[in-house]
Homo-oligomer: A and B are copies of this chain.
Amino acid sequence: MQETEEIKSISIIGVGNVGWHLSQALHEAGYEIKHIVSRSQEKLESLVQKLCTIHLTSIDQVQEEPDLYLICVQDVYIPEISASLSSSQSIVVHTSGGSDLKVFSAKQDKYGVFYPLQTFTKGNNMDWSEIPFLLEADNQSTLNKLKVVANRISGKYNFADSSARLKVHIAAVFACNFSNHMATIADSLLKKEGLDFKIVYPLLKETIKKLDRMSPDEAQTGPAIRNDAVTMERHMELLKEFPEWQEIYRLISKSIPFNPEP
């Protein structure tokens, strides 16, 4: 691939939630998906057919290299994949919020990070226009090429070095993964009462909708911000059969600052 040329062909390594969605978005944006590399044989036929691509079970089977390798495996496997691509002339990037750019430095010539800031679940349609990409690369030419790809998928991107990206990733874990776990605890508590999660879902939607117009600290409501000790004690008492949730309740309530007029 010449320095001035655009990326045209892409091979996807790993088809977990991120690879599954990203490969389809790239195909729809007009990119040639050269290979899908995945040890797993399961449930890949329909994806392979849809993307008009080849399924390989190992990188060693690659004959014609793509312009770009997109590594979509779990963080812990990125160094191993990177090592096995050490003779590649392609650009090699990972899609992780938490892995450093340095993971590539000893092995690759042209490398970077292409991190979509979103929660991916198979079988769920994504609105890519809403998804910002955090981009990083070892040099400006590679960065420009990644920018073009991000632009064609979503139109939204930011440049972020590995340190800033890790902090965005932690923020995403709190805002997304941990919020979801709060919903899981709510769901479990309701189920024990024979009630459906649907009863609190409008509340949860409104909670998030508010954040379009005000900051989360302005939007905070509930017993903790009012320092309503009576209610919090009744809750703690009822949670005593779930000591883990009780401790989460205690810690988060303590972390919410008191405001006499929430």
A positions within 8 Å CB-CB of B: 17, 74-76, 98-99, 117-121, 124, 126-127, 130-132, 158, 164, 166-187, 189-190, 192-193, 195, 197, 199-208, 210-226, 228-231, 234-235, 238-239, 244-245, 247-249, 251-252, 254-256, 262
Prevailing SS type, chain A contact patch = helix
CB of A18, distance to nearest CB on chain B (Å):
10
Q: Which B residues are CB-close (under 8 A) to A173?
A: 222-223, 235, 249
Given A175-B186, A184-B216, 6 further pairs, Cβ under 8 A: A75-B230, A98-B231, A117-B199, A124-B213, A169-B235, A204-B211
Known A17-B221, A171-B189: A119·B230 in contact at CB below 8 Å: no
CB of A118, distance to nearest CB on chain B (Å):
6
Known A75-B231, A158-B199: A187·B206 in contact at CB below 8 Å: no
Which B residue sits closest to A195, measured CB to CB?
B168
Q: Of A189, A192, A221, which is in contact with the most chain B CB atoms at under 10 Å from its CB?
A: A221
Task: Indicate how many identical chains form the complex.
Answer: 2
Contact assessment for B220 and A252 in the assembled complex, using a CB-CB cutoff below 8 Å: no
Contact assessment for B193 and A182 in the assembled complex, using a CB-CB cutoff below 8 Å: no
CA distance A167 to B189 in the complex (A): 7
Contact assessment for A171 and B190 in the assembled complex, using a CB-CB cutoff below 8 Å: yes
CB of A190, distance to nearest CB on chain B (Å):
5
CA distance A75 to B221 in the complex (A): 14
20 A–B contacts, CB within 8 A, in A order: A98-B228, A117-B200, A119-B210, A121-B214, A121-B218, A124-B210, A168-B195, A168-B200, A172-B203, A174-B189, A176-B200, A176-B203, A176-B204, A176-B222, A178-B252, A179-B182, A179-B207, A181-B256, A187-B217, A244-B254
Known A220-B180, A255-B244: A234·B119 in contact at CB below 8 Å: no
Q: Which B residues are CB-close (under 8 A) to A189?
A: 167, 170-171, 174
